[in-house]
Structure formats: structure tokens, C-alpha cells
Amino acid sequence: MSDDDEITLGRIETEVALLMRFGEATRRATGTAEHRVLDRAAYVILRHLDNSGPQNVSALAAQLNLDGSTVTRQVSALQRDGLITRTPDPSDGRGTVISATTAGLQRMAAVRSARTRLYGDMLADWSDEDRATLAALLGRLNQALVNRNRRR
């Protein structure tokens, strides 16, 4: 690896670390209640169920790269709050299929909308091309992370 590559990769590492830190700080500091109607874990699970449809805990855990027991705890909390339902898994009588409820999808949509507005405000002076490039590069980075975790 060349010195230039090492410098560039060091910058990427620093920027990703800052992105995660500032993103969480921004979420916590945002004054609107819309951002707080779901914690991050609930939001991610509901977004995934909205995009991929009902599924069992094992599939959900695999897609989110989480331990099954972690997802089970999160799903139990979502069920207590009426944001998901569990039904028997037709392919495995011992398991259950997790589905988002209307209330869960409504809360998730409210958070997504609030976050979209927030990013729209923060990136208002960026060109459409720059925003599209950022979206594409973040998508590639996330896919690289998924691919790396699948190889483990």
C-alpha cells in the first residue's frame, strides 16, 4: 500500500467515525418529537420490514447483521408497543414471522420524513449532482460493509 493510499484510507476512517458520532448527536439534539418516536434499533427493523416484508427473526437478524437474541429482544419491545405482530411461521412450526403493524409503519414513516427534511436542510446548498453522488457512495460503502460481514 502506498503512502497516499494509507493517507486516504486514514481520512476515510476518520470521516466515517465522525459521521457516526455527529449523526447520533444530531438525532439526539434535534428538537422535534418526530425524531424520537422510535429508537434507532426499532427504526431500522421497521424500515427493513417495510422494504422486505414479513420474515422470521433469523432472517431479520441475518439481514441486519445482528445476533438472533438481540433481534428477539428488540422485536419483543416492538410487539409490546404494538408496532409489530408475530404469527406462526408456515415453514417452521416452532418459529414466528414478524410483520410491521400500521402503527409501526406510521411511526417509521414519520421518523423517515423528519430525517429526510433534516438532511434536506443540511444539504440545501449542495448541488443535486453532489447529493446524488453522496447517496451513491454511501450506498456503495454500506454494500461493502454488508459484503465484508457476509464473508466472516
Mean pLDDT by 10 residues, the chain (152 residues): 87 89 74 67 92 91 85 92 92 86 94 89 95 95 83 67
Answer yes or no: do 57 and 87 share one domain: yes
Q: Do 111 and 39 fall into the same domain? A: yes
pTM for the predicted model, two decimal places: 0.80
Strand 55-56 versus strand 84-89 pairing type: unpaired
- 16 and 52 assigned to the same domain: no
Residue 67 has a pLDDT of: 84
Q: Specify whether 17 is located in the same domain as 66.
A: no
Is residue 85 situated within a structural domain?
yes
Note the pLDDT of residue 64: 84
In terms of residue numbers, what domain contains 21?
A: 1-30
12 in a structural domain: yes
Instruction: Report the pLDDT value the prediction gives residue 120, as an integer from 0 to 100.
Output: 93
Same-domain status, 11 and 76: no
90 domain residue, yes or no: yes
